[in-house]
Structure 1
Amino acid sequence: MAQAFKVVFTGTLDPTVNPEDVVRDFAAVFKVGEQQARELITAGQARVLKTDVDADNARRYQAVLEEIGIASRIEAMTAHAADAGDAAQPVASPADSLAESPADAPAADWAGSGADAAASQSAVSLAKPAAERMPTSAASDALGRQPPFGPIRHRATHGWYWITQAWQQFKAQPRLWLAAVALVYLVTFALSLVPVLGSLATMILGPVFAGGLMLGAQSQERGGTLRVMAGFDGFSTHGGQLALVGLLYLVGLFVVFIVAGLIAMATGVVTAGSMDALSSSDPDIVAAALGPGLGLFLLVVMLTMVPLLMLYWFAPVLVALEGMTAIEAMRMSFRGCWKNIVPFTVYGLALFFILLAASLILGVVSALLAAISETLMVVLMLLVMPLMLVFAVLVVLSIYSAYRDVFHTTTQSQGAHVF
């Protein structure tokens, strides 16, 4: 019979959190009354919160408690203790499964009151900045092994859910998000004006800015206010590893184009003659030589780009918020994308059609306004930039919401709730 474990509230909280906030969050996440949660949390006594779970689920429950600000530990259960616990601690509620809706918090419904456990241990620091906290992927747990951290497979509909969640987060602080992303774009645009080195710097620093924005998204989700300078926070939080992600991505781009070129030449998509045509000053000759082949070459490039994008997509947020190294983050990013390839396909198509619909609408309106007045046409062009900025913010926040859903949604629970 598999070893069973129990999750024990040590009776202590993270000293940097407000106990009332912990009470409120505990009640909301675990669907219990605030008074019941307050009695449990403020008693200062160790309590058994969950019994008879396997090691993986025990760690997941512990991670949920840590996010709230509650210190806990995991203890192995002997067969005798498990039987005695079942007899002494009846389950007060049959609700023992995680919320299926992705909008729900990643935890099970907890209910009841329970028995004392052993003496409390030191509270872990959970409300500190991400740079000061030990990442989930690196922390050791009470079992002496690394706690599991990995992607969770979701249904296709989650691809659209990531976008809707991003929109809701944007609506909460729209002006701040527009300002923060606009500032990042202005800085990267200024860097790109520097010949050669500026473009390389933009590619390498891209994940650093992205990591800062992810930190801002996390801060907002936890009730904070987004800083306009949030995009620059990545320089002080794992900046070296974030820049390494950008460097590896840049190297990957070179490799992709080399591989795509070799494949294109091997399959006859691009020939030596078409390559020679590139040196011609006559655009008609270039178009005739590369017309069909260029389209196929670009298709090959796109197909070879997909694995690289999978390596990169979650890497900045995993480095910034989980403290992973660049290599670890890119591997984990690939796993997360591969395991959720179906919702990611839905997500990509949804963003594409949103952009396509907006482009078509703007095109029609532009044509109508151009026929009426050139002044109105100029006004419309000035409005396009904010709309594109909104789309950019939506992409940034959808990456964060996808990260939360893929890497911080717990699996189906098991065992008994006792507290």
Structure 2
Amino acid sequence: MFKRSAKEAFHWVKDCLSIFRQNPAMWMLVALSYVLLFMVIPAMVFLPVILKLLVVIMGPFFLVLALTLYREADYGRDTEFSDIVAQVKPQIGKLVALGGACMVYGILISYVTSGDMQALDDMVNAKADAEALATRAVPLAIKMLVLMTPIFMSTWFAPMLVAHHQFSVWKAIKSSIAGCLTSVLSLTFAWILLTAGLALCMMATGIVVALVTAIIKPVGLILTSLTLLAFLLLATSLMLGLQYVSYRDIFAKKLDAKALEPSAA
């Protein structure tokens, strides 16, 4: 089991890199869009809450557009972005419903953890010692991880199952969770491989940046910021690639083959 999962993870990472090398600039742009939508906008405290909720609700739709770009590149198809939007548009209602379900679950998580978050915030404001903060923060981090795992698993495959295989929202969520559970080792190994590879590259780049900073500090500071941004976008684009190739091998190939069976007969 471990050997098969490790082999599958290696092939997934290899395919991610292969797709990325086809058009690095485009994938970095896709990653930048993802970071702006799902990291930068939610962190902007001055933006209205309704806008942030809209981003969450529309999240699966944007995710499908990104992953479909990976699919088209993987199969060597030069498809216009407008054609991809047209493919996905008929399922936008279900994708919005999926985003709404994620939003409701996120609100529930916020409600469940609000007391712990407030207690931690009070400790920070009171300038509590590091040990006391860790005693409160570590259990909260574990609690958040446990609570976030279901939403992570349910949205890993569900958007593509809804958009390209016409699954209902509930069926897509159940299938996505089942797919993550049955391939948890492969997904974990692939994540570790990508993370370790990126960490090593970042360490090597960091040495060069540190040398430049020691010689020309202003240039080094700018280079540090650009390097961090570049690695964030690279990590995001490769993780999106992993999301696509795992969907392709776990679901798409089997479902597409099954759809062709009647015509083959």
**CA deviation digits over 1:120-155, x for unaligned, max 9?**
xxxxxxxxxxxxxxxxxxxxxxxxxxxxxxxxxx63
> Alpha carbons of 1:227 and 1:286: their partners in 2 closer, same or farther (altered >3 Å)?
farther
Contact kept? 1:176, 1:226, Cα under 8 Å: no
Q: Give the number of aligned pairs.
A: 247
1:168 CA drift (Å): 0.8
- Aligned partners of 1:359 and 1:241: how far apart in 2? 39
* Residue segments in structure 1 that go unaligned for 5+ positions in a row: 1-153, 411-419
- State whether structure 2 residue 54 is matched by structure 1 residue 201: yes
Contact 1:215–1:230 under 8 Å retained in 2: no
User: Matched residue of 1:218: which SS?
Assistant: helix
- Equivalent positions of 1:332-347 (< 5 A) are 332-347=175-190
CA distance in 2, matches of 1:231, 1:286: 53
Listed as ranges, the matches of 1:191-270 within 5 Å are 192=42, 193=44, 194-225=47-78, 227=80, 236-258=89-111, 261=113
> Aligned residue for 2:127?
284
Counterpart pick for 1:309 among 131, 136, 152: 152
Report if the CA contact (8 A) 1:314-1:399 is conserved: yes
State the Cα distance separating 1:347 from its structure 2 match.
1.9
Work out which of the residue numbers 140, 156, 169 in structure 2 matches 1:297: 140
Structural mapping, 1:153-164, within 5 Å: 155-164=5-14
Match of 1:70 in 2: none
- 1:390 equivalent in structure 2: 234
Q: Secondary structure at the match of 1:157?
A: helix
338, 350, 356: which one aligns with 2:199: 356
Aligned mates of 2:85, 2:207 — CA distance in 1: 38
TM-fit CA distance, 1:390: 2.4
Please state how far the C-alpha of 1:302 moved relative to its aligned partner. Answer: 1.1
Q: Which residue of 1 aligns with 2:15?
A: 165
Q: Which amino acid aligns with 2:95?
A: L
Question: Which protein, 1 or 2, shows the higher relative CO under an 8 Å CA cutoff with sep ≥ 6?
Answer: 2
Higher strand share: 1
The structure that has the greater radius of gyration is 1
Q: What is the Cα deviation at residue 296 of structure 1?
A: 1.8
TM-score, length-scaled by structure 2: 0.77
Q: Measure the CA separation in 1 of the matches of 2:183 and 2:240.
A: 18
- Do the aligned partners of 2:123 and 2:133 also contact (CA within 8 Å) in 1? no
Deviation at 1:288, TM superposition (A): 6.0
Residues of 2 paired with 1:176 and 1:230: CA distance? 17
- Are the counterparts in 2 of residues 207 and 242 from structure 1 also a CA contact under 8 Å? yes
Secondary structure, counterpart of 2:76 in structure 1: coil
Letter in 1 for 2:225: M
Q: Measure the CA separation in 2 of the matches of 1:302 and 1:399.
A: 19
Cα deviations by residue, 1:31-88 (Å, 9 ceiling, x for unpaired): xxxxxxxxxxxxxxxxxxxxxxxxxxxxxxxxxxxxxxxxxxxxxxxxxxxxxxxxxx
- The change in CA–CA distance for 1:286 and 1:340 in structure 2 (over 3 A counts) is same
- Deviation, 1:351, is 2.9
CA shift at 1:359, angstroms? Answer: 4.0
1: CA distance, partners of 2:213 / 2:233: 23
8 Å contact kept, 2:202–2:231: no
Asked if the contact 1:257–1:301 (Cα under 8 Å) also holds between the matched residues in 2, the reply is: no
**Counterparts in 2 of 1:251 and 1:157: CA distance versus 1, 3 Å:** farther
1:155 partner amino acid: S
> Could you tell me whether the CA contact under 8 Å between 2:6 and 2:186 is conserved in 1?
yes
Q: 1:321 aligns with which of 144, 164, 171?
A: 164
Q: State, as a whole percentage, how many aligned pairs show the same letter.
A: 21
Output the TM-score relative to the length of structure 1.
Answer: 0.51
Q: CA deviation at 1:367?
A: 2.9
Say if 1:209 and 1:233, in contact at 8 Å, map to a contact too. no
Where in structure 2 are the equivalents of 1:32-51 lying within 5 Å? none
- The aligned residue for residue 406 of structure 1 is 250
Would you say 1:379 and 2:229 are equivalent positions? no
Structure whose residues are more often helix by fraction: 2
Supply the AA of the counterpart residue of 1:211.
Answer: V
